[in-house]
Amino acid sequence: MNTTTATQDSMRKINKYPNKQPILPALLAIPVASIPEKYSAKAIVKSLNIMLAQSLDEGDLDFLEGQNVSVEIVDLKLKFGLSLGDGILIASSWQTKDSLNLSGNLYDFMLLASRKEDSDALFFHRRLKMEGSTNLGLEVKNLLDGMDLDTVRFHKLLDFALHHCIKVFEKLFK
Amino acid sequence: MLNSYFNFTSGEYILELVCPAGNLPSLKAAVDNGADAVYIGFKDDTNARHFAGLNFNDKKALSGLNYAKERGVKVFAAINTYAQTGGFIRWQQAVDRAQELQLDALILADIGVMDYACEKYPDLRLHLSVQASATNPEALEFYHRNFNIQRAVLPRVLSVKQVEQVAQFSPVPIEVFGFGSLCVMVEGRCLLSSYATGRSPNTYGACSPGSHVQWQEKANGVLETRLNNVLIDRFQEGEKAGYPTLCKGRFEVNKHTFYALEEPTSLNTLSLLPQLQKIGVTALKIEGRQRSPAYVALVTQILRDAIDTMKKDPEHYQAKDEWMDELLKVSEGSQTTLGAYHRPWQ
């Protein structure tokens, strides 16, 4: 529960926003951390290419041409980079200062992927970090927000999995 | 004032809930969660949320319109920036597009665009945008007489008392902001963003355009915000951040560094709903076409619930704590205010 105050009846503020978001225990990240970066990046990119085939065909991701996005899922100890080449997503190496750097914890990325949380709110709360090209960040954010889920292959399965993972996280790792 | 927003059975004005949508999933989220109307923008500088990847092309607009109409919800288009010399055709095309799509209303600010719309399409319903910054009944009378506007969105600088005075003598129904991010609210006249970047909402359609914003987090967890290489804020580790606008930057004044203009904050009028209804406000607008479907769904749902609860028993209505807490979480800077509505000195 948040602690909120009302000052003079007109102002309300979160004094103590719980920074106790569920975090994956370090022990559970070991299997992922032990996979070499290039293999995990290839697996992620391959899955994304299957899921986003229609959006890729329609050119919705063309803005990634010539741009590298580096993503870090901090508690999962997972880092990967991606870009666009010949109309499909390709793996690239993770870099500290890429065209766009996104980082956050697994729980927050799951909330974003399942559209349960607003990305600007996560950013305001410092749970999602974004550095590099703000325009590219906006393109990525608006692509994800604006995507018709019916065009995403296996989205029902993904939704189901995310929904349950989020519940497990909230129950076990808070 | 007689208008279609007055319910003669209950003797009350209908507080129509007008919700933002920057994309199709947001539009659907608004419709599904109880919006009476949704407002959208096209993919260019004719609207004041001209951000990369945001807004509607014709196909998405039509799809959204059909979704809304099938569920009895209206769709408005915001064409609310000021047409630039040499580029007027884009504003004309936006009006033509809205007419072709048969949207329910256009939200306009520029009198040139208004003139074009009302001359070419006399049956098209026009609303006066907040960007027009009309704050008195005489100004509204001018827009009504010359361009046949059917509704006016009032600037957020007015106190409740002032809104009441305007509503009392206005020739058209009044819409006010009910929830969302606040800025310095010099609507339609703010040049702060231009001062740093050469671009502002009135001309380019975006305050602090993404191309000029840099976020950088230092090793010690301090987040720095720069606008066109000018440092405008520095958030300590764990401190809540806001949008990268000059009006919400921290500046050194007389050797003190603080929010010299205003703090990042959001407007929240839940506690004012009975008053707003009583003084004849006919529509309540939620800010945030740049936000995600999750925000639109949450805020629409809470405002819907609040308006319905208030209408059942205005005298005993009180904003529920859980509504306020949920809204705080999506608020800029994690704080909300009644803003100018509550300024007794105005």
> In chain B, what percentage of residues exceed pLDDT 70?
96
Asked if B105 and B98 touch (Cβ cutoff 8 Å), the reply is no
> In chain A, what percentage of residues exceed pLDDT 70?
91
Q: Is B269 an interface residue toward A (CB < 8 Å)?
A: no
Within a domain: B187: no
Alpha-carbon span B328 to B270, nearest angstrom: 12
How many CB pairs lie under 8 A apart between chains A and B? 132
A20-24, A81-85, B116-120, B306-310: segment of lowest average pLDDT: A20-24
**Residue A12 binned pLDDT confidence (cut-offs 50, 70, 90):** confident
**Residue A107 binned pLDDT confidence (cut-offs 50, 70, 90):** very high
Note whether B313 and B219 are same-domain residues: no
Within a domain: B1: no
Q: Is B26 an interface residue toward A (CB < 8 Å)?
A: yes
Helix (H) / strand (E) element for A159: namely helix A155-172
Nearest Cα of chain A lies from the Cα of B51 at a distance, in angstroms, of 7
Within a domain: B207: yes
Candidates A19, A129, A143; nearest CB to B217: A129
The number of angstroms, rounded, from the C-alpha of A86 to the middle of its chain's C-alpha atoms is 24
Query: Between these two residues, B338 and A3, which has the higher pLDDT value?
Result: B338
Cβ-defined contact of B334 to A115 (cutoff 8 Å): no
Query: CB count, 10 Å around CB of B156?
Result: 21
Architecture of domain A22-172: 2-Layer Sandwich (3.30)
Q: Please check the confidence at residue B173 and state whether its pLDDT lies above 80.
A: yes
Note whether B201 and B138 are same-domain residues: no
Candidates A4, A17, A117; nearest CB to B324: A4
* Predicted confidence (pLDDT) per residue in A80-91, tens digit: 999 999 999 999
Cβ-defined contact of B328 to A116 (cutoff 8 Å): no
Q: Please check the confidence at residue B161 and state whether its pLDDT lies above 70.
A: yes
Note whether B39 and B172 are same-domain residues: yes
Final residue of a domain: which of B229, B258, B287? B258
Final residue of a domain: which of B218, B241, B258? B258
Note whether B169 and B52 are same-domain residues: yes
Residue B202 has what pLDDT? 85
Note whether B116 and B169 are same-domain residues: yes
Cβ-defined contact of B240 to A126 (cutoff 8 Å): yes
Note whether B167 and B65 are same-domain residues: yes
For A70-87, what is the mean pLDDT?
A: 96
Cβ-defined contact of A146 to B211 (cutoff 8 Å): no
According to DSSP H, which parts of B4-136 are helical? 24-32, 58-70, 88-101, 111-120
Query: Between these two residues, B184 and B271, which has the higher pLDDT value?
Result: B271
Nearest one of B286, B318, B280, B321 to B301, comparing CA atoms: B286
Asked if B332 and B299 touch (Cβ cutoff 8 Å), the reply is no
Residue B343 has what pLDDT? 79
Cβ-defined contact of A146 to B54 (cutoff 8 Å): yes
Phi, psi of B36 (to 5 degrees): -90, -30
**Residue B1 binned pLDDT confidence (cut-offs 50, 70, 90):** very low
Cβ-defined contact of A138 to B52 (cutoff 8 Å): yes
Candidates B211, B235, B291; nearest CB to A135: B211
For chain B, the domain total comes to 2
According to DSSP H, which parts of chain A are helical? 26-33, 37-51, 53-57, 106-113, 119-124, 134-146, 155-172
The number of angstroms, rounded, from the C-alpha of B133 to the middle of its chain's C-alpha atoms is 13
Note whether B157 and B273 are same-domain residues: yes
For B227-253, what is the mean pLDDT?
A: 93
Q: Which residues does B2 contact at the CB level (< 8 Å), separation at least 6? A: none
- SS3 state at B247: helix
The region, left, alpha or beta by phi > 0 then psi within -120 to 50, assigned to residue B30 is alpha
Within a domain: B151: yes
Note whether B175 and B269 are same-domain residues: yes
Candidates A9, A131, A142; nearest CB to B217: A131
For B165-175, what is the mean pLDDT?
A: 95
Note whether B244 and B269 are same-domain residues: no
- A59 CB-contact burial (10 Å; exposed 0-12 / middle 13-18 / buried 19+): exposed
* Predicted confidence (pLDDT) per residue in A28-63, tens digit: 999 888 999 889 999 999 999 999 999 999 999 999
For A8-28, what is the mean pLDDT?
A: 72
Chain A residues lying within 8 Å of B24, measured CB to CB: 146, 148
Chain B residues lying within 8 Å of A113, measured CB to CB: none
Note whether B26 and B70 are same-domain residues: yes
Candidates A11, A14, A145; nearest CB to B292: A145
* Predicted confidence (pLDDT) per residue in B316-338, tens digit: 999 999 999 999 999 988 888 88
Cβ-defined contact of A126 to B336 (cutoff 8 Å): no
Within a domain: B297: yes
Final residue of a domain: which of B233, B258, B283? B258
Q: Please check the confidence at residue B33 and state whether its pLDDT lies above 60.
A: yes
Residue B35 has what pLDDT? 98
Q: Is the dihedral of CA B224, B229, B230, B232 positive or negative?
A: negative
The whole-chain average pLDDT of chain B stands at 93
Residue B153 has what pLDDT? 97
**Residue B208 binned pLDDT confidence (cut-offs 50, 70, 90):** very high
Alpha-carbon span A108 to A71, nearest angstrom: 13
Residue A10 has what pLDDT? 65
Q: Find the domain containing B198 and state its range.
A: 192-258
Residue B339 has what pLDDT? 86
Q: Please check the confidence at residue A104 and state whether its pLDDT lies above 60.
A: yes
Q: Chain B window 55-114: which residues touch A at a Cβ cutoff of 8 Å?
A: 60
Asked if B194 and B82 touch (Cβ cutoff 8 Å), the reply is no
Note whether B13 and B83 are same-domain residues: yes
For B170-181, what is the mean pLDDT?
A: 96
Note whether B280 and B221 are same-domain residues: no
For A129-138, what is the mean pLDDT?
A: 95
For A132-154, what is the mean pLDDT?
A: 94
Residue B334 has what pLDDT? 80
* Predicted confidence (pLDDT) per residue in B66-85, tens digit: 999 999 999 999 999 999 88
Kindly report the CATH number assigned to the domain that includes residue B10: 3.20.20.70
Residue A5 has what pLDDT? 46
Phi, psi of B235 (to 5 degrees): -100, 125
- SS3 state at B8: coil
